[in-house]
Structure 1
Amino acid sequence: MVPLSYLLRFIEEDATFGDVTSEAVIPEELGARAVIIAKQDGVIAGIEEANALFEHFGVKVKVKKRDGERVKKGDIVLELEGNARAILLVERTALNIMGRMSGIATEVRRLSETVKKVNPKVRVAGTRKTLLKPIDKRALLIGGGETHRFSLSDAILIKDNHLALVPLEEAIKRAKEFSVYKVVEVEVESLEDALRAARAGADVIMLDNMKPDEIAEVVEALKREGLRKRVRIEVSGGVTPENITEYAKLDVDVISLGYLTHSVKNFDVSLEIIGRL
């Protein structure tokens, strides 16, 4: 679960000086019952986070659907009972978190299943193109995807801007000497550089913005030189839901898509008060 301390920041931002509407309109001791409902079909996520927030403010929660479960439009995912002001205080933050996480989980599940039908060994991954990493990365996992790096501290990824300053072979040598525990990945955009990276000892080669036929050439060249089994191949850039199967047909290991987190389509969930206590 995403740490509660992180989640509470959203409440603090949303109600810096309290919820003036509820404080003005709702009697302080009034209790209420409420439900959170899925308004579309998909994969639900953010249940644990919403549960933690409501319980922190004294609201009793009954979980009806678990993170990662498929839901249908109209399904109740949470039942709530407690102080009405507390329910309304948390409402929008909980729905925002669930909507974003469920949107990511739904899409990564859809793409993962699409890819697996074509090539069972290929994994779908997100990227670091997000500012809400704890939420987005967990949503990727719930949906069945790979998170890629969580942060700059997790793995070594040598990109074009690094190679603009340090030659490829030297960069890989330095990276290998820096740590025996860190995976060394190199981003390349040509057949020549892919072979250079593999020869220099890269663990992962990211083929960036290359077309399927170009990637096929890289794979065959690596096989000819006996290098394919020594590296994992990641495809990134230019991949969309419409063309992802063309990449999945190839002998690659990972397909990463930034749009999974930077262009999230929110999943529709709503909270409805169903009675007083």
Structure 2
Amino acid sequence: MIPLSYLLRFIEEDAPFGDLTSEAVVPEGTTARAVIIAKQEGVIAGVEEAKALFEHFGVEAEVKKLDGEEVKREDVIIELRGDARAILLVERTALNVMGRMSGIATEVKKLVERVKAVNPKVRVAGTRKTLLKPIDKRAIIIGGGEPHRFSLSDAILIKDNHLALVSLEEAIRRAKAFSVYKVVEVEVESLEGALRAARAGADVVMLDNMTPEEIAETIEALKREGLRERVKIEVSGGITPKNIEEYAELDVDVISLGYLTHSVRNFDVSLEMIGKV
């Protein structure tokens, strides 16, 4: 689960000086029941995070659907009971977290299933194109995908802006000398770049913004030189739900998409107050 301290920042942002409307309208000490329901079909996520938020503010939260479960429209996900003001305070933050995480998890599962149907060995991964890393990365995992790097501190990924300053071979040599525990990945945009990276000892070669035809040609060249089995191949850049299966048909190991976090629509969830207890 995402650390509660991280989640509480959203409450602090949403109600820096309290929930003015609830404090003005709802009598202090009012106890109520409420439910969070799905308003569409998909994979639910963020349930544990929502539960933790409500319980932090003294609200009983009974989970009816677990993270990663398929839900249908009108399914009850969580039943709530407690102080009405507390329920209303947490409502929007909990729904925002669940909505975003469920939207990502739902889309990830769809794409993973489509890719696996074409090529069972290929994994679908996210990218760092998000500012909500704890939320988005966990949602990708719940949906059955690979989170990729969580941060710049996690792994070595040599990109074009690094190579504008240091040669590819020198960058790989330095990276290998820096740590024996970290996998070294190199982003390239051409067949020649892929061959150079593999020859220099890269563990993973990311083929960035290359067409399926260019990737197929590159993989064949790696095979001819006996390099394909020495590296993992990741493809990224310009990959969408419309063309992902074209990439899955190739002899690649990972398909990574920024789409999973920067373009996915929120999942529709709603909190409905049942009434006073």
Q: 2:127 matched to which residue of 1? A: 127
TM-score computed with the length of structure 2 as normaliser? 0.99
Larger CA deviation: 258-267 vs 128-137: 258-267
| Amino acid in the other structure paired with 1:157 | L
User: What CA distance in whole angstroms lies between the structure 2 residues aligned with 1:243 and 1:130?
Assistant: 22
User: What CA distance in whole angstroms lies between the structure 2 residues aligned with 1:230 and 1:48?
Assistant: 40
Q: 1:142 matched to which residue of 2? A: 142
Q: 2:45 matched to which residue of 1? A: 45
Cα offset for 1:263?
1.5
Secondary structure, aligned partner of 1:217? helix
1:73-120 deviation line (CA, Å, top 9, x unaligned): 110000000000000000000000000000000000000000000000
Q: 1:32 matched to which residue of 2? A: 32
Does 2:99 correspond to 1:93? Answer: no
Q: 1:266 matched to which residue of 2? A: 266
| Amino acid in the other structure paired with 1:111 | L
| Amino acid in the other structure paired with 1:47 | V
Q: CA RMSD in A?
A: 0.4
Does 2:215 correspond to 1:215? Answer: yes
| Amino acid in the other structure paired with 2:142 | I
User: What CA distance in whole angstroms lies between the structure 2 residues aligned with 1:201 and 1:88?
Assistant: 56
| Amino acid in the other structure paired with 1:84 | A
User: What CA distance in whole angstroms lies between the structure 1 residues aligned with 2:196 and 2:41?
Assistant: 46
Cα offset for 1:259?
1.2
Does 2:104 correspond to 1:83? Answer: no
Secondary structure, aligned partner of 2:235? strand
1:190-211 deviation line (CA, Å, top 9, x unaligned): 0001000000000000000000
TM-score computed with the length of structure 1 as normaliser? 0.99
Secondary structure, aligned partner of 1:241? coil
Secondary structure, aligned partner of 2:144? coil
Q: 1:233 matched to which residue of 2? A: 233
Q: 1:186 matched to which residue of 2? A: 186
Q: 1:2 matched to which residue of 2? A: 2
| Amino acid in the other structure paired with 2:178 | F
Unpaired segments ≥5 residues, structure 1: none
User: What CA distance in whole angstroms lies between the structure 2 residues aligned with 1:259 and 1:119?
Assistant: 20
Q: 2:116 matched to which residue of 1? A: 116
User: What CA distance in whole angstroms lies between the structure 2 residues aligned with 1:61 and 1:153?
Assistant: 36
1:44-101 deviation line (CA, Å, top 9, x unaligned): 0000000000000000011000000000011000000000000000000000000000
Unpaired segments ≥5 residues, structure 2: none
Q: 2:105 matched to which residue of 1? A: 105
1:155-182 deviation line (CA, Å, top 9, x unaligned): 0000000000000000000000000011
User: What CA distance in whole angstroms lies between the structure 1 residues aligned with 2:201 and 2:86?
Assistant: 56
1:210-262 deviation line (CA, Å, top 9, x unaligned): 00010001111111111111100000001110000000000000000001111
Cα offset for 1:264?
2.5
Q: 1:66 matched to which residue of 2? A: 66
Does 2:173 correspond to 1:158? Answer: no
